[in-house]
Amino acid sequence: MHLAYPAVLSALLFCTGLYGVLARRNAILVLMSVELMLNAVNLNLVAFDVWLSKTAEETLHSGQALTLFTIAIAAAEIGIGLAIVLAVHRNRGTSDIDKLRDTAEGPGPDGSGSDLPDSDALTAEQAEKAEASA
Amino acid sequence: MTSAAATAHAVTLSAQGHGFLSPTGVEIAFLLVGLLTFGAALVTVTTRQLVHAALWLVVTLGGLAVEYLLLTAEFIAWVQVLIYVGSVVVLLLFGLMLTKAPIGRSPDADSGNRWAALTVAVAAAAALVWVVVDAFRTTWIDLDGAAAGSTEVTGASLFQNWVLPFEALSVLLLAALVGAIVLSRKAKAESSSPPVNSRAASGGSPSVPDSRNHPIEGTQPDGPQKPADPGAPAEQEGAR
């Protein structure tokens, strides 16, 4: 098989995931796009490992070992990421990335509009915490 | 020397035997499944229905598993089916449900910088595809002979050469497990902390009916302090 087929497919999948990460608003959809990017890398690793295992004299099968490691790390990442997204959704009532701009520096392009609700949410949260700790 | 020359000659012969215009059956199958995979990935990142995005992700990951099978990496293919299609997508669907994702079309699935993202992605795709095709134009994968990724080969290399990273990975998985549990417990403990505090102060659990007389004894010593405490009404509401 021509090596360019899996390499081109993996490049296209990676760029699809890149578009998803940049363009999506929901945090869970961003996580899905991250999975797409990781899978593109996995396909690259497997293809080059199969190529090298036939052409090289000695091979450690490093591509397939790294693919297994990537899959395990992706499983851990999706677990932690979903836990974080659920915690954010429980605290803020939204999982939209655009609306989580507490650490944004200065007024952004729509900063004057989004500053007030943010500070309101912050004060409400502080009041809640004060209540809870009292 | 002569054997090396002979193998080099055979390699060039086999390279000349291939061609773009005479694809093998494996290449055609790879191309078709690759088109399906890429299309499903495109639908995943562009659809406005959130649950459909997760279901199209299943198609993408399953197509990638078929590609692994075509590349004779069997073990990776089954691991892909088990972990990605089996658990990751189920986790994502549960996440969508728990965050009350709207069923049906949601008009704000894409953010405002969609066109900038499209520009970046298309530019990156063009650059990557150009570089990759230019670099590996004359490279061929030899798929004949023993499978390069059967379970025996993968297991042998994993447990001979990669034992230490493997064990480190198990520690990482344990840390991720503990971290996920802590992250999901923390918010619950915070939201239920007033009952916990009042229970600790009153010395009795409200869920245990037998100890219902203990809170009276327990709250009596706390009584004088309560008027000075501004959070006392909230605490009592929590106790109720």
Element (H, E) at A15: helix A4-23
DSSP string, chain B: -HHHHHHHHHHHHHHHH--SSS--HHHHHHHHHHHHHHHHHHHHHH-SBHHHHHHHHHHHHHHHHHHHHHTT-HHHHHHIIIIIIIIIHHHHHHHHHHTTPPSSB-TTSB-TTHHHHHHHHHHHHHHHHHHHHHHTTT-B----SS-TT-HHHHHHHHHHHSHHHHHHHHHHHHHHHHHHHHHHHHHHHHHTHHHHHHHHHHTS-TT-GGGGGHHHHHHHHHGGGGGG-TTHHHHHHHH-
Q: CB B234 to CB A2 under 8 A? A: no
Asked whether residue B9 is assigned to any structural domain, the reply reads no
Output the CA–CA distances (angstroms, integers) from residue A67 to A2, A32, B28, B68, B113, in the order listed: 21, 18, 25, 11, 32
- Candidate from A114-118, A129-133, B89-93, B130-134 with smallest mean pLDDT: A114-118
Asked whether residue B3 is assigned to any structural domain, the reply reads no
Q: What percent of chain A has pLDDT over 70?
A: 78
Candidate from B71, B121, B190 with C-beta closest to A6:
B71
At B188 the pLDDT is 52
Q: CB B148 to CB A74 under 8 A? A: no
Find tokens 């042998």 and name the residue.
B156
Whether A25 contacts B54, CB under 8 Å: no
At B111 the pLDDT is 79
A45-79 pLDDT, tens digit each: 999 999 988 887 778 888 999 999 999 999 999 99
Nearest CA distance, B209 vs chain A (angstrom) = 25
Q: What percent of chain B has pLDDT over 90?
A: 40
Task: Quote ipTM for the complex.
Answer: 0.77
- A60: helix, coil or strand? coil
At A109 the pLDDT is 53
Domain end, chosen from B105, B120, B147, is at B105
Closest CA in chain A for residue B73: A46
Asked whether residue B74 is assigned to any structural domain, the reply reads yes
What's the mean per-residue pLDDT of chain A?
Answer: 81
**Backbone dihedral angles phi then psi of residue A26, each to the nearest 5 degrees:** -75, 135
Asked whether residue B194 is assigned to any structural domain, the reply reads yes
- A96: helix, coil or strand? strand
At B184 the pLDDT is 84
Domain count, chain B: 2
User: Rounded to whole angstroms, how far apart are CA atoms B195 and B189?
Assistant: 10
At B234 the pLDDT is 41
Tally the C-alpha atoms within 13 A of residue B11's C-alpha that lie toward its C-beta: 13
Chain A environment of B30 (Cβ under 8 Å): 1, 5-6
Nearest CA distance, A55 vs chain B (angstrom) = 8
Candidate from B30, B161, B230 with C-beta closest to A134:
B230
Domain end, chosen from B84, B105, B126, is at B105
Find tokens 């230490």 and name the residue.
B164
At B237 the pLDDT is 41
At B203 the pLDDT is 43
Domain end, chosen from B71, B105, B139, is at B105
Q: Tell me the range of A90-104, A117-131, B22-36 where mean pLDDT is highest.
A: B22-36
User: Rounded to whole angstroms, how far apart are CA atoms A24 and A31?
Assistant: 10
Asked whether residue B153 is assigned to any structural domain, the reply reads no
Nearest CA distance, A108 vs chain B (angstrom) = 14
A19-53 pLDDT, tens digit each: 999 999 889 999 999 999 999 999 999 999 999 88
At B212 the pLDDT is 43
At B122 the pLDDT is 96
Query: Both tokens of residue B93?
Result: 């669907």
Asked whether residue B195 is assigned to any structural domain, the reply reads yes
CATH code of the domain containing B100: 1.20.120.1200
At A128 the pLDDT is 52
Output the CA–CA distances (angstroms, integers) from residue B62 to B40, B48, B80, B81, in the order listed: 10, 22, 8, 7
Low-confidence ranges of chain B (pLDDT < 70): 1-22, 186-240
The amino acid sitting at B240 is R
Q: Which domain holds residue B174?
A: 170-222+231-240
The answer to whether residue A7 scores a pLDDT higher than 60 is yes
**B-contacting residues in A 67-126 (Cβ below 8 Å):** 67-69, 71-80, 82-87, 89-91, 95-98
Chain A environment of B184 (Cβ under 8 Å): 83, 86-87
